[in-house]
Amino acid sequence: MISAPCLGVGGRPRRYAVAVGVDAAALPAGQCIAVVKTQEVELVNKRTSDIEPGPAYRRPLPVQIRQVVEAYQRDRQQYHDRFTERVGPEAQETWRLVQCAAEAMLEGAEDLASRESVPRLRELLARARRRFTPAYKRLLFRLLDEEMTIWLGHHVGRLIPEANQRLWEMLTLTETLSPSWRAAAFLRRVSQCYLMGFDAECMVMCRSVLEGEFEAEISNPQCREVLGQPRWTGYKPEALYDLRARIAVARKLGRLTVEAAESAEAVREAARRVVHRKPKVVGPTIDLIRKTVLVIRQLSDRDAPGRSKGRDVSGTGGGG
């Protein structure tokens, strides 16, 4: 039996070519490898030609999710068409009420501030309480729950392809980091927000990561030494060393390169725009995540100058 070779390592391609019946001596090395790859594919295809994937494995998963949700929705509609036709006007009224209430619920849940959907939903539910028996009320809420599930099923099906692509992007950023406990907690949320497509929220989380890391790494005494005593405004003076100030101190102390300091400023400014102006993302979010990782990598460098006295493992930002 021939095990799968490591093509291009040592003399194994030529040995494998001989094993599968190729005259390797008459071929240049590069051509030999090309022939070996072709022969290997043919061998694999021959050995696995009788293996058929199961029905569920023949189509991409997102396609199957969409088809399952659509089939459920279609069968449900057919069932309730027959049900309402058999039972009569009260069931038909229940079904119409469900459609209107579900639309209002989804609109209200997505906006949280709709001026029309919430009052309309309250009116519909009040009508249901007045007109329907307890049995029909239970049916109403069961149907509403089904409508929510169908909407979520469609949403998940649309989300998977992009989330899959974003997962591969995140894997390219994976490395060994040693952030503070607070920064690590926010860093996990950065990943979750990005995978789910919440780009604006991801930017805010990136800033929170940096705030936690800078407060742990750049102590208040270091800030006072570089920037002087902050102006008193009724708060503790230490609280007035914000992220922008700590970025400047880190650069002054040599804890950050020019590139890393500019990256930290870019993350800070992007999050500020999202929070205080418009929740609209400008530019690829993955670039801000890369900048965040770059800054953390430099700040958490154990050999960085001044790190031993600046590290605050408690996450309070006091540093002495």
Contact in structure between 306 and 253 (CB atoms under 8 Å): yes
The answer to whether residue 78 is domain-embedded is yes
Judge whether 195 and 166 are in contact, CB under 8 Å: yes
What pLDDT is stored for residue 2 in this prediction? 33
Residue 234: its pLDDT value, please?
Answer: 54
Indicate if 95 and 207 belong to the same structural domain.
no
Q: How many CB atoms lie within 10 A of CB 152?
A: 11
Q: Count the neighbouring beta carbons within 10 Å of the beta carbon of residue 12.
A: 15
Same domain, 229 and 111: no
Residue 166 resides in a domain: no
Instruction: Write down which residue in 161, 191, 210 finishes a domain.
Output: 161
**H runs (alpha helix) in the chain:** 12-19, 29-47, 61-87, 89-111, 117-131, 134-171, 181-195, 199-217, 220-227, 243-252, 258-276, 285-299, 307-310
SS3 state at 125 = helix
Q: Are residues 106 and 126 in the same domain?
A: yes
Q: Which of 109, 140, 161 is the last residue of a domain?
A: 161
Indicate whether 192 and 238 sit together in one domain. Answer: yes
Q: Whose CA is closest to 253, among 317, 307, 181, 315?
A: 307
Q: Are residues 196 and 141 in the same domain?
A: no
Domain of 132?
A: 61-161
- 65 lies in some domain: yes
Structure confidence at residue 109 (pLDDT): 66
Q: Does one domain contain both 110 and 22? A: no
Instruction: Show the tokens assigned to 120.
Output: 């309309």
Are 68 and 140 found together in one domain? yes
In a domain, 204, yes or no: yes
Q: Do residue 179 and residue 306 come from a single domain?
A: yes
pLDDT at 310: 44
Asked if the structure places residue 301 within a domain, the reply is yes
Residues 181 and 247 in one domain: yes
Taking the C-alpha atoms of residue 292 and residue 263, their distance in angstroms, rounded to an integer, is: 7
Q: Is residue 81 part of a domain?
A: yes
Name the domain count of the chain.
Answer: 3
Phi and psi angles of residue 236, each rounded to the nearest 5 degrees, phi first: -60, 135
54 located within any domain: no
Question: Does 93 reside within a domain?
Answer: yes
Domain boundary among 141, 161, 181: 161
Look at residues 21, 42, 43, 22 and name the one whose alpha carbon lies nearest to residue 31: 22
User: Any long-range contacts for 119-128 (C-beta under 8 Å, 24+ apart)?
Assistant: 124/97, 124/100, 125/101, 127/97, 128/97, 128/101
Is pTM, for the whole model, over 0.85? no
Q: Based on the fold, state whether residues 147 and 189 are members of the same structural domain.
A: no
For the chain, 320 residues long, the average pLDDT of each consecutive 10-residue run is: 33 42 49 57 73 81 90 91 79 76 73 64 73 72 85 89 89 77 85 90 92 90 84 57 91 93 94 81 85 91 58 44
> Is 131 in the same domain as 178?
no
User: What pLDDT is attached to residue 49?
Assistant: 73
User: Residue 241 belongs to a domain with what CATH number?
Assistant: 1.20.120
Verify that 184 and 278 share a domain, yes or no.
yes
